[in-house]
């Protein structure tokens, strides 16, 4: 059974800009270290991705998988789940919740639940989850706050 982990970070940009970076899947290889390739497989009528194929290589873990996405109308919640088991994962569910703050920043809360196909001691799995989430949030923050980032 998969455990859920949650982390938050404050990003110096409004929620719309954070959501724009999260939803720009083809650019992920430019700013996320483990992502090698991304392909939008299907889109909703409004142009947002409904299914996205990821190829990742994080050294100890390489995998290819497809995630199905759903969005809140105002993009304050973006959630996903694994379409079918992959080489490394039995299941994956996750979400980004974006809350605009009075000072123009956004609190991003990342929740992730992964069930691996390979056995891993709970202590090591939790440490890996924390590292993955921490890295993902820091890379998102760096991308959104970068000079010249989409406004």
Residue the block writes with tokens 């992502």? 35
Task: Please compute the mean of the pLDDT values over residues 52-69 and round it to a whole number.
Answer: 90
pTM equals: 0.88
Of 63, 97, 105, 64, which is closest to residue 80 (Cα–Cα)? 97
Nearest to 109, CA basis, from 43, 15, 23: 15
Contact 15, 75 (CB under 8 A): yes
Please say whether the beta carbons of 20 and 26 come within 8 A: no
DSSP state of 81: E
Q: Which residues sit opposite 43 in a β-bridge?
A: 49
Residue 88 is predicted with a pLDDT of 86
pLDDT at residue 135, as a whole number = 83
Q: Alpha carbon 5 to chain centroid distance?
A: 13
pLDDT higher than 80, residue 70: yes
Residue 127: pLDDT band by 50, 70, 90 thresholds? low
Q: Residue for token digits 């969005």? A: 71
């Amino acid at each position: 059974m998969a455990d859920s982990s949650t982390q938050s970070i404050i990003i110096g940009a409004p929620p719309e800009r954070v959501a724009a970076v999260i939803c720009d899947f083809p650019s992920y290889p430019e700013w996320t270290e483990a992502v090698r390739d991304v392909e939008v497989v299907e889109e909703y009528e409004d142009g947002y991705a409904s299914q996205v194929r990821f190829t990742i290589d994080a050294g100890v873990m390489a995998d290819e998988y497809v995630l199905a996405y759903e969005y809140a109308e105002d993009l304050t919640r973006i959630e996903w789940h694994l379409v079918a088991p992959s080489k490394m994962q039995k299941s994956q569910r996750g979400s980004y919740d974006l809350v605009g703050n009075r000072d123009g920043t956004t609190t991003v809360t990342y929740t992730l639940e992964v069930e691996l196909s390979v056995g891993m001691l709970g202590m090591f799995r939790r440490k890996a989850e924390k590292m993955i989430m921490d890295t993902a949030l820091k890379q998102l923050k760096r991308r959104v706050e970068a000079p010249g980032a989409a406004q």
